[in-house]
Amino acid sequence: MSASATLQAVLRDKVGSRDARKLRSEGRLPCSLQADKDHEHVNFHIDLSEFLTTRRAHAHLYDLEMGSQTQAAVVRELQYDSLGSGIIHVEFKPVTRGVATEAEVELSFVGNVVDGVLTHNVTHITVECLPSQIPDNIEVKVEGLTAGTHIKASDLVLPEGIKLAIEPDTEIAVVSVPRAETPEPTEGEEGEEGEDTL
């Protein structure tokens, strides 16, 4: 969680993949501001390195300066290239300061389970909070959990001012019982087993 970051946005007069590729080659990042009942959809571009700097500073609330106007926004979706090594597009969601909004927050599983394998059913949850209070992640403590334990959304310890926006019964993770290991074939005898394939 950190203070808001300001980004200089330039409106895109041309859209399309060819123009987007050209912008990326110039170090710009194509973006869009999602439409809602009060705002129109806007296509613009920002400086990629500036955006990455704000990401490193854990910024979640942005002030998009588009000419004479400034719009507060949060990131709704990031799009990556095929190898997942670079951001190619950002979709922002307009927000109003001081008014609670819904945001997707990553879950971070802390600790090691005693026996069994931790399987998470969800890796992100939707929370409702003020745009300035969006956390980086929500910690899920799994230290010492035993096989057969289920973690539900209602079990999460949320920071102050943050509410769940999903059903409290939603299963977050489960510590599954380890499967009985069958003796593996010796070297050169591969292909004999197939108990936990696809």
Residues near another protein (CB under 8 A): 74-78, 80, 82-84, 103-106, 112-113, 117-120, 123-124, 176, 178, 181, 184, 190-191, 193-194, 196-198
- Whole-number Cα distances in Å, 55 to 5, 10, 92, 126, 153: 9, 19, 14, 20, 27
CB of 61 to another protein, least distance (A): 12
For the record, the structure tokens of 21 come out as 């590729």
3 state SS of 133: helix
CB of 97 to another protein, least distance (A): 19
Q: Which is nearer to another protein, 14 or 77 (CB)?
A: 77
**Torsion sign over Cα 71, 63, 78, 3:** negative
Q: Are strands 124-129 and 101-110 parallel, antiparallel or unpaired?
A: antiparallel
Q: Which is nearer to another protein, 50 or 104 (CB)?
A: 104
CB of 194 to another protein, least distance (A): 5
Q: Which is nearer to another protein, 170 or 176 (CB)?
A: 176
CB of 20 to another protein, least distance (A): 16
CB 70 within 8 A of CB 4: no
**Running DSSP on this structure, what letter comes out for residue 22?**
H
CB of 172 to another protein, least distance (A): 14
Q: Which is nearer to another protein, 13 or 195 (CB)?
A: 195
Q: Which is nearer to another protein, 16 or 178 (CB)?
A: 178
- Whole-number Cα distances in Å, 193 to 172, 181, 188: 32, 11, 13
